[in-house]
A and B are shown apart, each in its own frame.
Chain A
Amino acid sequence: MSTSLAGFRVVLASPDFTLRVVVGLCAVSVIIRTLELLARASLFGPQGSLSWKLVQELCPFECPPWFTALCDGRGLLAVLIVRLAASAGLLVPARPFLLLACLTIVALSSLMLNLRMPVGQDGSDQMNVLIVLPAWLAILCGQDLAKIAVLMFIAGQGSLAYATSGVAKLGSPLWRSGEAIPQIMSTLAYGNGLAARALCSSLALRRTACWSVILFETCFSFSVLAGPHGLLGVLAVGLLFHVSCAILMGLNCFLWSFLATYPALIFTSNYLFHLLHTIGKTGG
């Protein structure tokens, strides 16, 4: 167990390799999401709820004709297909220039989609942008220090996401009373009838469910300081949490987007541990 743990830590001690793992996991989320957008391309059409002629009202500036061409009809379809191919390219252990090319396409198309979809995006889209864009800039820089900084940034965003979500739930009477999860589980969009009925039948069960989520999310940010065993334990709980959210709530892309931050968290934890160790030695 400890040998495999040590091996795991050594592998994720390389910023270059870790960044590739992070980008690869994020690419899975981008691929699924892009395929889903392609499967619902009619929503982006002239009569859809994401019709460009309507949602562009939320765009804060006048869009140039070339951008409008990319946002509408065949232009958008082409963007999504190129994005799909480029994100698939991120899963292949390719040469650096190919990785950079794929990452450039995914990063720029992410920014474009953020403008194209002022509504309809979710937290996994946000996390994907926060991974892909800095990773692209780090690979453009090419220096290890840039990759280390980006991994720390991604780990920071992951921790911030859990902490904010946990603290916001802690401040909510509906969450504290244990009523939030059964009510969410009762919806068609994010719910599950079986889970809703099970939770509604037991006050202890729904309080345990709500408080487990609150405690896990609130304490998650401290996992970087929990040491290698502690961190892996917290990440295992995190994996279980996201798999449950995917199964019960249909949050399929969240699983991959948030899982992508985990190698960055392991790297950051290792890096801080070695840094403190070195400072301690120098001081001693």
Chain B
Amino acid sequence: MSLGTVGLLILLAVWFVLSVLNQFGTRSVDRLRRVDPLQLLPLWNFFAPHPGVHDYYLLYREESESGELGSWHLVHPTQSRSWTSCLWNPDKLGHKTLSDLTQILAGYQDSSLREGPSRMLTLPYLVCLNVITDARPHSRASVRQFVLARKRGLVSGDELLPILVSDLHRV
């Protein structure tokens, strides 16, 4: 047995043990996750224990020069999933990104990062602002506001519930 193979066997054994430990949400495991920027330790609890039962929506509106706020325009999602998504589903990238950003927002222990002015420095806020800045203009207004909202699905007919509402920003 070569030295390389011995090294690989040890590596695989350690990797598998750490993967098993990573499935438990303990504090020491959280520390483990923080030192895993390459995301080599998997988390396999798909859709459990709390399955994602919401869709996330990003909308924006414009403020006219007279200070009047316009109607909301949807940036994401722009279309329903087609039947071909079993083979080809590029839109899941956008859905998953917005969902992950919402999880980051929900994970902030400090509530001021979710609601106060300091929320403007958080990654979810900056990403949403970045996206709506580039959205197609509906008027000559240069001031915009966005809202990140969630809604239960097709059957229940829920209303949009705001998660993150921005200030007005000049774009």
For the complex, give the distance between the alpha carbons of A48 and B128 in Å.
9
Are B90 and A191 in contact, CB atoms less than 8 angstroms apart? no
Chain B, 13-66, CB within 8 A of any chain A CB? 15-16, 19-20, 23, 34, 37-40, 42-55
For the complex, give the distance between the alpha carbons of A183 and B153 in Å.
7
Are A51 and B19 in contact, CB atoms less than 8 angstroms apart? no
Known: A130-B42, A157-B42, A196-B153. A143 touches B5 (CB 8 A): yes
Q: Mark B152-164, 1 if CB is under 8 A from A, else 0.
A: 1111100000000
Most central of A143, A182, A189 by chain B CB within 10 Å: A189
Q: Which candidate, B96-104, B110-118, B137-145, is the interface stretch facing chain A?
A: B96-104
Q: Mark A12-56, 1 if CB is under 8 A from B, else 0.
A: 000000000000000000001001110110010001111100110
Are A188 and B154 in contact, CB atoms less than 8 angstroms apart? yes
Are B130 and A141 in contact, CB atoms less than 8 angstroms apart? no
Are B86 and A157 in contact, CB atoms less than 8 angstroms apart? no
Q: Mark A53-67, 1 if CB is under 8 A from B, else 0.
A: 011011111000000
A91 interface residue per 8 A CB criterion: no
For the complex, give the distance between the alpha carbons of A219 and B48 in Å.
16
Known: A47-B133, A180-B51. A252 touches B39 (CB 8 A): no
Chain B, 60-104, CB within 8 A of any chain A CB? 77, 80-81, 85-101, 104
For the complex, give the distance between the alpha carbons of A247 and B15 in Å.
33
Q: Which candidate, A73-81, A115-123, A274-282, is the interface stretch facing chain B?
A: A115-123
Are A114 and B38 in contact, CB atoms less than 8 angstroms apart? yes
Are B39 and A121 in contact, CB atoms less than 8 angstroms apart? yes
Are B155 and A200 in contact, CB atoms less than 8 angstroms apart? yes
**A191 contacts which chain B residues (CB < 8 A)?**
81, 153-154
Chain A, 152-209, CB within 8 A of any chain B CB? 153, 156-157, 160-162, 164-165, 168-169, 171-172, 174-175, 180, 182-191, 193, 196-197, 200
For the complex, give the distance between the alpha carbons of A229 and B128 in Å.
52
What class of interface size applies to chain B in its complex with A?
Answer: 35 or more
A232 interface residue per 8 A CB criterion: no
**A168 contacts which chain B residues (CB < 8 A)?**
45, 48-49
Are A36 and B90 in contact, CB atoms less than 8 angstroms apart? yes
Shortest Cβ gap from B29 to chain A (Å): 13
A235 interface residue per 8 A CB criterion: no
Are A160 and B8 in contact, CB atoms less than 8 angstroms apart? no
Are B49 and A175 in contact, CB atoms less than 8 angstroms apart? yes
For the complex, give the distance between the alpha carbons of A237 and B20 in Å.
24
For the complex, give the distance between the alpha carbons of A47 and B133 in Å.
8
B106 interface residue per 8 A CB criterion: no
For the complex, give the distance between the alpha carbons of A164 and B89 in Å.
26
B168 interface residue per 8 A CB criterion: no
Are B53 and A172 in contact, CB atoms less than 8 angstroms apart? no
**B100 contacts which chain A residues (CB < 8 A)?**
119-120
30 A-B pairs with CB atoms under 8 Å apart are A50-B93, A51-B127, A54-B130, A59-B37, A61-B37, A114-B39, A115-B37, A118-B37, A127-B42, A129-B39, A134-B12, A143-B4, A146-B8, A146-B9, A157-B19, A160-B44, A161-B42, A161-B46, A183-B153, A184-B47, A186-B156, A187-B53, A188-B154, A189-B81, A189-B95, A190-B52, A191-B81, A191-B153, A197-B155, A252-B86
Interfacial residues, chain B to chain A (CB-CB below 8 A): 1-2, 4-5, 8-9, 11-12, 15-16, 19-20, 23, 34, 37-40, 42-55, 77, 80-81, 85-101, 104, 123, 126-128, 130-131, 133-134, 152-156
